[in-house]
Amino acid sequence: MNITVDQAQGKVSVTILGLHGDLDASNYQDVIAKAREVYNTGTRYLLIDMSDTPYMGSSGLVALHSIAVLLRGEEPPDPESGWNAFHAIARDRDAGRAVQQHVKLLNPQPRVDRTLEMTGLKQFFEIYTDLQTAIASFEKV
């Protein structure tokens, strides 16, 4: 997987994390690490561009959830903790946590979209198919 980082300006400055390739067990920690890196350098609004991500495994769900927790200003569960990471996703989803204000998804491909739907994470993220609309959707919280 190749991960790109770009900046865009809407109502707020938005970092665009582009994921190019499958998001799976071989690279999900790299995605979390890159999100942590941009967060540590000041990013507070993150758009994850999944238009070039044809497949996402269960570890990709852990990556997306971990990034959402990180951008809320909290420490995500250790991705190496196995089922604990999945239980954290379920707890957030079942607790009715509001749709993420700081992390949004752009153009998840059909297989990825189905995975988000089946796991209930689609209700956790705002999802956009247009880059400019996605950027404009971020507001200072």
What digits encode the pLDDT tens for the residues 46-92? Answer: 999 999 999 999 889 889 989 998 998 888 877 666 556 556 666 66
Number of H helices, E strands in the chain: 5, 5
Average pLDDT over residues 102-118: 95
DSSP 104: E
What does the domain layout of the chain look like in residue ranges?
Answer: 2-137
Does the structure show a pLDDT above 90 at 105?
Answer: yes
pTM: 0.89
Average pLDDT over residues 121-132: 91
Render pLDDT for 56-65 as a digit per residue (tens, 0 to 9): 998 898 899 8
Q: State how far the Cα of 95 lies from the Cα of 92, in Å rounded to an integer.
A: 5
Q: Residue 38: what pLDDT?
A: 98
Q: Residue holding tokens 């196995």? A: 82
Does the structure show a pLDDT above 90 at 140?
Answer: no
* Token output for 107: 């153009």
Q: Residue 51: what pLDDT?
A: 98
Which CATH class, in words, describes the domain spanning 2-137? Answer: alpha beta
pLDDT band at 141 (very low <50, low <70, confident <90, very high): confident
DSSP 77: P
